[in-house]
Structure 1
Amino acid sequence: MKSEKATFAAGCFWHVEETFRKIKGVVKTQVGYTGSDFKDPSYEDVCADSTGHAEAIEIEFDPKLVSYEQLLDVFWQSHNPYTLNRQGVDIGTQYRSAIFYHSEEQKKKAVASKQELQKKFSNKIVTEIKPAAKFYRAEEYHQRYLEKKGLKMCRAF
């Protein structure tokens, strides 16, 4: 199997990971920080809103079982792409909506999906579409957080 990567930011990464890890064809997920040049951020650094990083999920997936377009559909449906730097009660640039693409093909698909969604609504989509930068894995206690705690969703939802 030749897997591919997808990286998304859509608010609190606990909720985002729980959403994506249940999809057939998703091989592995990890939550972390990306979107800035700030090196080796901690959760505290990112929450202080001084790093420029977003809470994000890096997904390894089998494109024979789930397509990048299907993952984009889940991304759009799992958060509010119209609110700048906010998801529910969580406010700050670390909660921004972003797609970090790993190839030109992913970029084209991300842009096309954003344009298609924008046609359906009058509110402006604020989701960033940027090349994937270095991904810093979050501290271990954040990995599969909701599953470990026996929770179904974050307080923001």
Structure 2
Amino acid sequence: MRSLFRRLTLTAAAGALAVTTALIAPTFASEEAVVIPAPATDAQAADGLQTAVIAGGCFWGVQGVYQHTNGVVSAVSGYSGGSKSTANYTAIGTGTTGHAEAVEIKYDPKKISYGKILQIYFSVVHDPTQLNRQGPDTGTQYRSEIFATTPEQKKIAEAYIAQLNAAKVYKKPIATKLGMLQAFYPAEAYHQDYLTLNPRQPYIVYNDLPKIENLKKIFADNYIEKPTLVNAAKATN
């Protein structure tokens, strides 16, 4: 089901921000980042842009993190795991469509590797040990899942999950699902660049902005201050 916290956050955007913040601020907080080793197996740098698709809870924060990551030229919120007919926010909110809130990341492999994208994903983007939930959001649409776009990506992700589990960097086993991408469907326009456009919303403040700070602190070499926005890219095309 769609979390009460997110519903209250969207209500706040309509004019009840102060009241909503007072009611829910003490209840929820962002997941803590975990400092983890880099993947032992990674892809080699290559020419041309490559694509990664991942899911790790609400796509607002996931998109926001990668929009602040150097080497990422595009991060788009959307849906993966279900059919085109149910790739919309209302339908996926039922938790019955097979979709996960996902983010499509296009990146320059000469500036950032697929392994580094996964390291950021497992460290600051979300808690990969949670099953079908992230923070205040519950349901299969908020699951942790990697949608590999190539067989090489799948092998790298499999090896990395095994590496992290063997190193016991988390208190519980990783619950992240892994499979090949079937399709990615961009989300509605109002979900794009949501973190940047709504920095004062309580959900963003308590769940997502700390992820950006963790990226800046833990992955300083990969952090960029100015986000690479979807709407900015459209404006220049």
TM-score (norm 1): 0.94
| Aligned mates of 1:12, 1:95 — CA distance in 2 | 6
Equivalent residues in 2 for 1:9-88 (5 A)?
A: 9-37=55-83, 39-77=85-123, 78-88=125-135
Indicate the percent of aligned positions where both proteins have the same amino acid.
39
Structure 1 runs, 4 residues or longer, greater than 6 Å off: none
Aligned 8 A contact 2:132 2:144 in 1: yes
Aligned to 1:145: 194
Which structure 2 residues correspond to residues 113-152 of structure 1 after superposition, within 5 A?
113-121=160-168, 123-151=172-200
Greater fraction helix: 2
Structure holding more strand per residue: 1
| Alpha-carbon spacing, 1:51–1:71, altered in 2? closer, same or farther (3 Å) | same
SS at match of 1:129: strand
Unaligned runs of 5+ in 1: none
Are residues 59 and 40 of structure 1, via their aligned partners in 2, closer, same or farther at CA, if it must alter by over 3 Å? Answer: same
Give 1:40 deviation, angstroms.
4.5
Contact 1:54 1:95 in 2 (8 A): yes
Q: CA deviation at 1:123?
A: 1.4
Residues 4-50 of structure 1, C-alpha deviation per residue, up to 9 Å, x if partnerless?
A: 00000000000000111111100111000001235342101011112
CA contact (8 A) 1:90 1:156 kept: no
Q: Deviations over 1:96-126 (max 9, x none)?
A: 0000001111011100111111112251211
- Cα separation, 1, equivalents of 2:200 and 2:62: 13
1:137 aligned partner, one-letter code? P
Residue 4 in 1 paired to residue 53 in 2? Answer: no
The gaps in structure 2 that reach 5 residues or longer are: 1-46, 209-237
Pair 1:111–1:61, CA change in 2 (3 A): same
How far apart, CA to CA, are the structure 1 residues paired with 2:140 and 2:206?
18
CA RMSD of aligned residues (A): 1.6
Larger-gyration structure (1/2): 2
Compute the displacement of 1:150 (Å).
2.6
More displaced 10-residue stretch of structure 1: 134-143 or 122-131: 122-131
2:147 corresponding residue in structure 1: 100
